[in-house]
Structure 1
Amino acid sequence: MEKKYSLVFYSKTLVEPVKKLKDFLKSKINWYNSCNSEAHITICEFTIDESQLDSIKQKLFQISDTFTPFQVSLNHFDSYPNSGAFFISPNEDAVKNLKPIMQKIHQVLKSLKLKKSEDPHMSIGRRLTPENLKIASELFTTIDLNFLCSEIVLREFDPIAKQFFVIDAFPFGSNPKPELIQGSLF
């Protein structure tokens, strides 16, 4: 049976503070897309047959072992007005650490039809109307959240709850694999 999955950067320490932001926005504009979603930074989404899951997990375990944990600072709000997304952005250093990991995971899973996220961000609201986007940007002006990024988390979509839930985590092993270097025989 086919199921939908997402790979994310996730930290339990951010769930509650971000939920408070989302709940506050919800109290001002009512229900909106992603108001009930737990705090995360999306890497990609994909749909596969359950029978493929173990092989995907094996690839994720291998690639995660090569990454080294690092601090992520989320220090400003931003938006994508065209899509109505309002989100918390990581600082420049965090982006420099997150993007290569995202790209490597996209590369490792390139055989799948991925819905990729290229720009690391933590959504507060999606598909907001221009009016609600303006309200969000007026309500939220400063933010300072941090977490240790030390794993990739796999989530499965529950079609009844219409939410993703965590099913596995792949810890960073700090074991970088040496890059293959083309040598010369002469």
Structure 2
Amino acid sequence: MEKTYSVVFYSTTLVEPVKKMKDFLRSKIKWYNSCNSEAHITICEFTIEDSQLDAIKQKLSKISDTFTPFQVFLNHFDSFPNSGAFFIGVNEDSEKNLIPIMKKIHDTLKFLKLKKSDNPHMSIGRRLTPENLKIASELFTTIDLNFVCNEIVLREFDTINKQFFVIDTFPFGSNPEPEFVQGSLF
């Protein structure tokens, strides 16, 4: 059976503060896309057969072992007006650390049909109307959150609740892959 999965950066320390923001926005504009989604930064999403899951987990475990933990700072609000997304953005240093990991995971899973995210951000709301985007940007003006990025998380989509839930975590092992060095025969 086919199921949908996502690979994300996730920290339990951010779940509650971001939920409070989402609930506050919901109290002003009613239900909206992502209002019930737990705080995360999406890396990619894909649909696979159950039989492929173990192989995907092995690949994620192997690649995660090569990453080293670092601090991520979320320090501003922004939006993608074309898609109606309102989100918390990361600072420049965090972006420089997150993007290479996202690209390596995309490359590792390139044999799948991926929905990729190349721009690290934490969504507050998606598919908001221009009016609701304006309300969100007026409600939320300053932010200062951070977390230790020390793992990636695999989540499965629950077709009944219409939400992703965590099924596995892959800790960073701080074991960079050895660089290939061309040897000489003589």
TM bucket, shorter chain = over 0.9
Uncovered stretches (5+) of structure 1, i.e. residues with no partner = none
Give SS of 2:179's match: coil
Shift of 1:112: 0.3
Deviation at 1:181, TM superposition (A): 3.5
Residue equivalent to 2:68: 68
Q: Name the counterpart of 1:124.
A: 124
- RMSD, aligned α-carbons: 0.9
Matched, 1:27 2:46: no
CA-to-aligned-CA distance 1:134-172 (integer Å, 9 cap, x gap):
000000000000100000000000000000000000000
Q: Which aligned runs of 4 or more in structure 1 are off by greater than 3 angstroms? A: 181-186
Instruction: Give matches, 1:1-186, under 5 Å.
Output: 1-183=1-183
Counterpart code for 2:22:
K
Q: Residue 160 of structure 2: SS of its match in structure 1? A: coil
Note the C-alpha offset of 1:41: 0.1
Unaligned runs of 5+ in 2: none
Kindly state the Cα deviation for residue 183 of structure 1 after the two structures are TM-superposed: 5.0
Partners in 2 of 1:93 and 1:176 — Cα distance?
20
What letter corresponds to residue 172 of structure 1 in structure 2? F
Query: SS where residue 128 of structure 2 aligns?
Result: coil
Q: Secondary structure at the match of 2:16?
A: helix
Task: Name the CA distance, whole Å, in 2 between partners of 1:185 and 1:25.
Answer: 66
The one-letter code sitting in structure 1 at the alignment partner of 2:90 is P
SS in 1 for 2:113: coil
Aligned length: 186
Deviation at 1:179, TM superposition (A): 2.1
For 1:83, the aligned partner's letter is S
